[in-house]
Amino acid sequence: MISNRKQQILIGSKAVKIVHDRSTGRATVYNPANSFFYLSPGTSKISVGNKRVLKISFDRNTGKIIVNNPLNKNMDISPMLNSTQLLDRIRNALEKREGCSVISVGATEAFVMAQYTIYSEEEFMRHGEAENANMGAKSGFYHRGIRFPNKEARDEAVLAVKNADIVGYNTFVDSAKSLTEKVFAAYSIKPPYVFEANLRRVIMFSQKEKFEKILQGRRILLISSLAEQAKAALENNLQDRLGFDVVGAISIHEYEEIPYVKEQISQYEFDLCLLAAGINAVILAPYIAKVYGKVAIDIGWGMQSLISGEIVADPWVTDIIGLDNLFAM
């Protein structure tokens, strides 16, 4: 199933929504008056508001949409990958022995990057995300692996996201989507490819065969506060059938441990690195891809699923996003 690519852009104070279907090569444009019309592959012009002309061009083969906004310069909208396309790109990089980093900019990661740009220090220090992080939890829902304020982590995260090959973020929940896109705009970040971040919750179940092909026969390095538990689970449950070798399990809980983790990485020979460490995974994955030429995937809560064999579900996923929606992507 090929998911449509949805984008909302602003022309002045008016919003225009574009839905691009790669399977047909057709874009549907919804204007501020809630009417809509179709654009054929190629380049088209539409009028929005008071004599403003919006020029849209897109490539059916690559899925890239170029929006020429008269009030802002060209906006290059990154192609959206579904679960099949995401895993195919990962496997292709593994087969070609090319570096590839897959990260996810969730609420915490976007918040780290928003320090002193989107939010003033007073604003972000009073925010619930900073309060949760500064509780210092070492595991569980409130574990953030960072304390606020932290300009150094912000700068490292921005550089990492700019260097990442594929970036996930929340495209379902407007508040999370809006903050991430504001952060991307503030730093002129345009990922080569994007995907719905919450796919990481289900992809090893919805795309079981493809996910296992990624693991099969690989030398795997794990980096997470759950690394040792995940190593034991993989070896007990899948190693005999898939023939991989978990070469190492590096534990990380806090941002300050990144230099130590980088030293540890250098001691291993591996093909694939699976990470789950919040903002620290975002920083580390592109580093691993660039420095070692390896495939590094931030699998988030998927690390817990490797241990339990079950989807990590919470009200955010079940009530707001919907597991059925994620399985269909």
Task: For residue 321, name the pLDDT band (cuts at 50, 70, 90).
Answer: confident
Q: In angstroms, rounded to a whole number, what is the distance separating the alpha carbons of residues 226 and 214?
A: 20
Domain spans in the chain, listed from the N-terminal domain onward:
5-77, 78-329
Residue 135: how many other CB atoms lie within 10 Å = 11
71, pLDDT greater than 50: no
- Comparing 105-114, 126-135, 173-182, which segment has the lowest mean pLDDT? 126-135
Q: Which phi and psi (to 5°) does residue 75 adopt?
A: -115, 110
Q: In angstroms, rounded to a whole number, what is the distance separating the alpha carbons of residues 223 and 220?
A: 10
Q: In angstroms, rounded to a whole number, what is the distance separating the alpha carbons of residues 258 and 252?
A: 8
pLDDT score for 13: 37
Residue in 204, 210, 235, 222 with CA at minimum distance from that of residue 296: 222
Question: ∠ CA 63-160-283 to the nearest 5 degrees?
Answer: 125
What b/e string do you get for 63-84 counting C-beta neighbours within 10 Å, with b at 16 or more? Answer: bbbebebeeeeeeebbbbbbbb
Residue 326: how many other CB atoms lie within 10 Å = 21
Interval 232-254: pLDDT, tens: 999 999 999 999 999 999 999 99
Task: For residue 153, name the pLDDT band (cuts at 50, 70, 90).
Answer: very high
Hey, is 202 helix, strand or coil?
A: helix
pLDDT score for 56: 61
Cα–Cα distances in Å, from 17 out to 6, 32, 56?
7, 8, 12
Question: ∠ CA 97-281-170 to the nearest 5 degrees?
Answer: 100
259, pLDDT greater than 50: yes
